[in-house]
Amino acid sequence: MAVDPAFDEAASVLIDRGIDGPIECALVLGTGLGSIVDDVQDAVTIPYADIPGFPHGEVSGHARQLCYGTLFDRKVLIYQGRAHYYEGGDSAVMRVPLGLLTAFGSPPLILTNAAGSLSPSMGPGSLALITDHINLNGPNPLVGDRGDGRFVPMVDAYDPLLRGRLKRAAANAIVPLGEGVYMWFSGPSFETPAEIRMAKTLGADLVGMSTVPEVILARRYDLRVAGLSIVTNMGAGLHGGAPHHGETRDVAAVASRSLRRLLRAFLSEL
């Protein structure tokens, strides 16, 4: 696989700031989930603005910095907030943050997000493991990429080994964990009730505005990746669901306690 010089350039900033040790797990924290970093010991934080190739801008609920340190006895690199396609129309906006992991031994990557649920068995506040996705939105972050490596297989894109470990960790930590197919809508407007009915018909269980391009990028760079959704609401029109960003942020912040327990169990068994 061709290594991109942009990854080395970004990695060298991390190394200069003291991130020179191993990374045992990388995490991307979605909306409202930033408080997980409060548990990180010996934290080194770097604003995205200081790292070449990293996204700029902000969404409320996203701190836009990375944090390296020890979380539950494991060395982790945490991205506190992602950039989304809807911010500038670039589906590859997370290319450098994810690609640079190849310069640090390609640790397992856990992507988290806030999502709407289409399933009554996964209500607001619950956690769900993503089993597969539907790129309804269309854009693919590998458009313009070169060589045969761009033809990335997407069977088992959500790594079965990591999924198994996350399920075991959830059982051990007594955290209920649903699972389902995630459908990517561009946002930033939420879906209409008709779109939610369509998503259900097409086989989705969860809807959201992120993660899918990141999984495609992660697989391009041969990273093992898993996705965890924090259900913040029922999809628009379901059971009176009328999602809005304040609800997403607030419910995710509360549910981050379950995510913390799950991550603790997961990391301790890594």
Could you say whether residue 243 binds ligand HPA (CB under 6 A)? yes
Which tokens belong to 126? 């619950």
Q: Distance between CA 249 and CA 55 in Å, rounded?
A: 21
| Chain centroid, CA 145 distance in Å | 22
Could you say whether residue 132 binds ligand HPA (CB under 6 A)? no
Could you say whether residue 97 binds ligand HPA (CB under 6 A)? no
Nearer to ligand HPA, 115 or 127 (CB): 115
Could you say whether residue 65 binds ligand HPA (CB under 6 A)? no
Nearer to ligand HPA, 6 or 59 (CB): 59
Could you say whether residue 166 binds ligand HPA (CB under 6 A)? no
Residue among 37, 235, 266, 267 that touches ligand HPA (CB under 6 A) = 235
Could you say whether residue 116 binds ligand HPA (CB under 6 A)? yes
Question: Min. distance of Cβ 215 from ligand HPA in angstroms?
Answer: 16
Could you say whether residue 115 binds ligand HPA (CB under 6 A)? yes
Nearer to ligand HPA, 127 or 207 (CB): 207
Could you say whether residue 212 binds ligand HPA (CB under 6 A)? no
Binding segment (CB under 6 A) for ligand HPA, from list 93-101, 110-118, 122-130, 257-265? 110-118
∠ CA 211-199-145 to the nearest 5 degrees? 40
Nearer to ligand HPA, 166 or 207 (CB): 207
Binding segment (CB under 6 A) for ligand HPA, from list 19-27, 159-167, 184-192, 262-270? 184-192
CA-closest candidate to residue 182, choices 129, 227, 133: 133
Could you say whether residue 191 binds ligand HPA (CB under 6 A)? yes
Nearer to ligand HPA, 8 or 195 (CB): 195
Could you say whether residue 141 binds ligand HPA (CB under 6 A)? no
Ranked by CB distance to ligand HPA, the top (closest) residue is 116
* Residues sharing a CB contact under 8 Å with residue 205, sequence separation 6 or more, in sequence order: 117, 118, 119, 122, 128, 178, 179, 180, 181, 182
Nearer to ligand HPA, 89 or 147 (CB): 89
Residue among 232, 238, 256, 260 that touches ligand HPA (CB under 6 A) = 232
Could you say whether residue 190 binds ligand HPA (CB under 6 A)? yes
CA distance from start to end of the chain: 27
Q: Strand 109-117 vs strand 206-208: parallel, antiparallel, or unpaired?
A: antiparallel
- Interacting residue ranges for ligand HPA, rule: CB under 6 A: 114-116, 185, 190-191, 207-209, 232-233, 235, 243, 248
